[in-house]
Amino acid sequence: MAEPRLEVRTADGATTAVALFCHGGTIASVEPPKERALSLARMRAIEQFVAASGSGRGLTTCLLRYRVAGWNGIAADAYADVRWSLDRIRAEHGDVPVVLVGHSMGGRAVLRAGGEPQVAAVCALAPWTPPGEPVGHLRGATVAILHGRGDRWVPAAMSAEFAGRAQQAGAHVARFTVAGGHSMVRRALVWHAFARDVVLAGGGLGPQRADIADALRRSDEESLARSL
């Protein structure tokens, strides 16, 4: 099986923060992800949007290309690839803050990696979080979630349940919903801007957006059900 790889867009000047972008996949498959997969195309578009705002501030962006398209049960292949990526980023850039951005299966992978020491924040877009997905490792972590209210592939109730458990475990969680489904095509700019703002704030390259900052400060259920 081939190694994963990173498509890297280097900061203008010295790298002071890194954002790692992880696209969606499927429940089980040992085939390589398709080059023209919509999930890859959508995440690449978000990565490019964020890079355009952050590269001049010292942000390097990395798009993860998985070894295989599936999560594959206890193998958790996408999560293993995220951990591999974090090792590579650390070797290349040292202990700079890393913000993880993931969609669907990629959202599950970045949430699994959210407790790693170098991770400054996690941005999960319509994350696939099955019942029982672990949350204890997220104590003290900053987690921002955006989910489409009309998502038929990964219902928004999944991330709501996950967010509640993560908050109870001590994570700082801001969860929002938006009109649209799983592909992040409807109201695309909202998805793009959300990822950009979480990345820039998490990487120390800009202030936290007011609505996200307010949600992170709150500990009641209202903060887990806001709309954009």
pLDDT tens per residue, range 138-181: 999 999 999 999 999 999 999 999 999 999 999 999 999 999 99
Mean pLDDT of 127-142: 97
Tokens 């696939």 sit at which residue? 128
Asked if 126 contacts 163 with a C-beta cutoff of 8 angstroms, the reply is no
Q: What are phi and psi of 11, to 5 degrees?
A: -60, 155
Q: Which domains does the chain have, with CATH numbers?
A: 5-227 (3.40.50.1820)
In this prediction, residue 2 carries a pLDDT of: 78
pTM across the whole model: 0.96
Identify the weakest region by mean pLDDT among 72-86, 97-111, 180-194, 205-219.
205-219
Q: Is the pLDDT of residue 219 over 60?
A: no
Question: Which candidate, 145, 139, 182, places its Cα nearest to that of 160?
Answer: 145
All residues at 6 or more sequence positions from 110 whose CB lies less than 8 Å from its CB, including other chains: 20, 22, 82, 100, 101, 102, 122, 123, 124, 127
Q: Which two tokens stand for residue 138?
A: 């997220």
Q: Is the pLDDT of residue 220 over 60?
A: no
In this prediction, residue 223 carries a pLDDT of: 52
3-class secondary structure per residue, the chain: CCCCEEEEECCCCCCCEEEEEECCCECCCCCCCCCCCHHHHHHHHHHHHHHHHHHHHCEEEEEEECCCCECCHHHCHHHHHHHHHHHHHHHHHCCCCEEEEEECHHHHHHHHCCCCCCEEEEEEECCCCCCCCCCHHHCCCEEEEEEECCCCCCCHHHHHHHHHHHHHCCCEEEEEEECCCCCCCCCHHHHHHHHHHHHHHHCCCCCCCHHHHHHHHCCCHHHHCEEC
pLDDT digits (tens, 9 = 90+) for 8-65: 999 999 999 999 999 999 999 999 999 888 999 999 999 999 999 999 999 999 999 9
Q: What are phi and psi of 181, to 5 degrees?
A: -110, -150
